[in-house]
Amino acid sequence: MLSDSTILKKIQRQPKQTATYKQLVRELGLHGEERRQLSQRLQKLTTGGNLVQVDSDRYAIALAASGKNLITGKLSLHRDGFGFVIPDLTAASPNLKSRITGDIFIPPHAVGSAMHGDLVLVEVTNVRDGGRAEGRIIRPLKRANPTVVGIFHYGARHNYVTPMDQKISQEIVIPHGLEYPVAEESAVSSPQELEPQRTQRAQRKAQRIFLG
């Protein structure tokens, strides 16, 4: 029977302590329902901090990932676009842990599609005197808000929601086909787990439209 310990041991035995979903399926000899269980367990282990998802299909043991200046933490965004990540130092390498003092500064261009309160994966790019660290967000790991309230804009090129919460500075793109045919009204958007975008816009789908 597939277990968390089986998955972790298999990844730990890899040269760089990383493995892809397809690699785990192949090496563990999984079929049918077991593949679905693997996907669920990988998500659970990532949320719990045992693993770090370093790209769309690759997972790493948290300590191994931290050795590459990667660390997880909670994002606090300012309405001007920059933010700070409160790092989870329990999974950090001794070297990184000893160098960082306080929160990690994230400049506006390095926030990506992450939003206020999200659990994120951060690459520490610079540590200045006094332990002040700066970094960039690799990807959101867990969304803080299941829904976002904002103004829905229906346009020719794309549709988007402007959040009412000033700490969420990005426009949220609503892909065509996932919107209601209205011009500009208050809306609630719900997360649609898509691959993280390299733009400042996150993607979601419109869940409910409130007419003014």
**pLDDT digit string, tens, across residues 95-124:** 778 888 899 999 999 998 888 898 888 889
C-beta separation of 30 from 38 below 8 A: yes
Percent of the chain whose pLDDT exceeds 90: 25
Q: Which residue has the higher pLDDT, 110 or 168?
A: 110
pLDDT greater at residue 153 or residue 108: 108
Q: Residue 95's pLDDT is what?
A: 75
Fold for domain 4-61?
Arc Repressor Mutant, subunit A (1.10.10)
Q: Which two tokens stand for residue 138?
A: 């690799």
Q: Which residues contact 143 (CB under 8 A, 6 or more apart)?
A: 115, 118, 191
Of the spans 93-97, 98-102, 182-186, 198-202, which averages the highest pLDDT?
98-102
Domain boundaries, the chain: 4-61, 67-142, 148-210
**What pLDDT is stored for residue 179 in this prediction?**
64
Spell out the residues 6+ positions from residue 112 whose beta carbon is closer than 8 angstroms to its own: 136, 137, 138, 139, 140, 196, 197, 198, 200
More confident residue, 211 or 109: 109
Structure tokens belonging to residue 146: 């299941």
Question: Distance between CA atoms of 83 and 140, rounded to whole angstroms?
Answer: 14
Residue 211: pLDDT over 50: no
Looking at 1.10.132.50, 3.30.420.40, 2.40.50.140, 2.60.40.10, the CATH number of the domain 67-142 comes to: 2.40.50.140
User: What is residue 189's predicted lDDT score, i.e. its pLDDT?
Assistant: 55
Residue 22 binned pLDDT confidence (cut-offs 50, 70, 90): very high
Instruction: Provide mean pLDDT across the span 11-39.
Output: 91
Q: How confident is the model at residue 26 (pLDDT cuts 50, 70, 90)?
A: very high
The pLDDT mean for the chain works out to: 78
pLDDT band at residue 66 under the 50/70/90 scheme: low
For residues 63-84, average pLDDT: 80
Q: What is the 3-state secondary structure (H, E, C) of the chain?
A: CCCHHHHHHHHHCCCCCEEEHHHHHHHHCCCCHHHHHHHHHHHHHHHCCCEEECCCCEEEEHHHHHCCCEEEEEEEECCCCCEEEEECHHHCCHHHHHHCCCCEEECHHHCCCCCCCCEEEEEEEEECHHHCEEEEEEEEEECCCCCEEEEEECCCCCEEEEECCCCCCCCEEECCCCCCCCCEEEEEEEECCCCCCCCCCEEEEEEEEECC
